[in-house]
Structure 1
Amino acid sequence: MIHRLPPFFGNRSKRLIKSPKLYLADSGLAAHLAGVAQVGTSSAELLRGALLENHLLQNLMAALEPHLIGVRLYFWHEQGRQEVDFVIEHGCKLVAVEVKATGRLEGSDTNSLRDFVRRTPECMAGVLTYFGQELLPLGEKLWAVPLHGLLAWTLQGTPP
């Protein structure tokens, strides 16, 4: 019923969060338990990002684990500072994924991804996934990928 997502410790810092994040194994159940009866309600809007993150984790696990032997999923969080929702590890390569429940991106949306990619040499890409329709380069090794295209992009293993 619950999935424990372990923290990523690849880049050492005294301020890293070391406890796992907990996700319900079913995003529909998570929405129900949170009291979200339908999309568009105030409770749905308040929890939109958390529920989307939960939903995306389920889909990443379902898409990646059967196809990539040894793939691991983590999160990265520096206490009171930066956070990356998912770090996908396969062999010696990493992809960092930040989830945004919005259709428009702000400049600050990439701060955590930029920092993680800069500090983690084995990270081949930082991906910000959002409700927009355009695939956008955001800088060196950084991409904005529409939510609907993220799983296909991740399975290909290379930036578009």
Structure 2
Amino acid sequence: MYICKLLPFSLSEIKGKYKSDDYHQLLLKGFYPRLYSTNMKYCDLYPSYIETYIERDVRQIKNIKDLSLFIKFLQIAAGHVGQLVNLSEIGNQVGVSHNTVRDWFSILEASYIVFFLRPFHKNIKKRLVKQPKLYFYDTGVLCNLLNISDFDQLFSHYNKGGIFESFVISEFFKRKFNTGSQEKFSFYRDSKGHEVDLLIEKGQKVDAIEIKSSSTFNKSFLKNIKYLNKTADGIINDSAVIYGGNLKNSINNIDIIPWKDF
């Protein structure tokens, strides 16, 4: 049986409906179809969507007695976007056990609210982290849970980088599901803190992608990809930096790709 995963719109599916070269308003709006077929505003949609999701879907999947505690968990989980998942830390912040956090994350996964990116372990002789990283499929939901409601709040948010990263990586997952691709996604991070945000496995070769929310390119964006190229025993195929700006370039065989063009 073929199972079709229906996620929020991808960037290519709303092409022509968002014409700005700045991504902030798009991340606030998110990608739920209703926002692109009606005049409904995102600030009206997401609070009711989250309430309906919790009241209806969560109750159907698992009988959670204290829904207010689950809402707190959702908000705290949103604050960890783009970070390594520590179940005990999140449990302490929410006031529940790490086993409960694991169960609740399984609910969010099953309903396509969040997904996890696993660490890469193949063919690299380094001590690598074992925890996955947390992302949300839709940045509109994510921003609402973080109480980000306008451009200025998003622009100055302490974890804008994590929100932008979630946007880019979710795009790759949407494309995979939409095309039926067999690509495998992971990230690289070693014990010394070297990190590359996204690795795409294609057979025996791997594409390496670094993600930066800055609208201005900086050559420092290349350093971790260069490090991985030296470390990964020739398995890296193509390399790229996807960033929040609008100028395309290529430096040392690493493509510099604007956010609208990847």
TM-score, normalised relative to structure 2: 0.53
Distance 1:122 1:68 in 2: 24
Contact 1:68 1:90 in 2 (8 A): no
**Cα distance in 2 for residues equivalent to 1:68 and 1:124:** 22
Deviating above 3 A after TM superposition, structure 1's stretches of 4 or more consecutive aligned residues are: 42-45
Identity %: 20
From the superposition, tell whether residues 69 and 80 of structure 1 become closer, same or farther in structure 2 (CA, over 3 Å): same
Paired residues in the alignment total 148
Bigger strand share:
1
| 1:138-149 alignment runs, 5 A limit | 138-139=251-252, 141-149=253-261
Match of 1:156 in 2: none
The answer to whether the aligner puts 1:2 opposite 2:114 as a matched pair is yes
Structure 1: any 5+ residue segments left out of the alignment?
151-160
Q: Are 2:247 and 2:257, in contact at CA under 8 Å, matched by a contact in 1? A: yes
Structure number having the greater helix percentage: 2
After superposition, the CA RMSD in angstroms is 1.8
2:240 to 116, 120, 127: 127
Q: What one-letter code is carried by the residue in structure 2 that aligns with 1:134?
A: L
Q: Matched residues in 2 for 1:80 and 1:35: separation?
A: 33
- 1:85 paired residue number: 197
What amino acid does structure 1 have at the position aligned with 2:247? E
**Counterparts of residues 22-61 of structure 1 (less than 5 Å):** 22-41=134-153, 44-61=156-173
Counterpart CA distance in 2 for 1:95 and 1:79 is: 21
Deviation at 1:58, TM superposition (A): 1.3
Go from structure 1 to structure 2 and tell me whether the alpha carbon gap of 1:51 and 1:132 turns closer, same or farther (over 3 Å shift): same
Residue in structure 2 matched with residue 63 of structure 1 by the alignment: 175
Q: Is 1:105 matched with 2:206? A: no
Structure 1 residue 116 displacement after superposition: 1.2
Structure of greater Rg: 2
C-alpha separation between the residues in 1 aligned to 2:249 and 2:159?
A: 26
State whether residues 186 and 199 of structure 2, in contact with CA within 8 Å, keep that contact through their aligned partners in structure 1: yes
Structure 2: segments with no counterpart, 5+ residues: 1-112
Counterpart code for 2:219? G
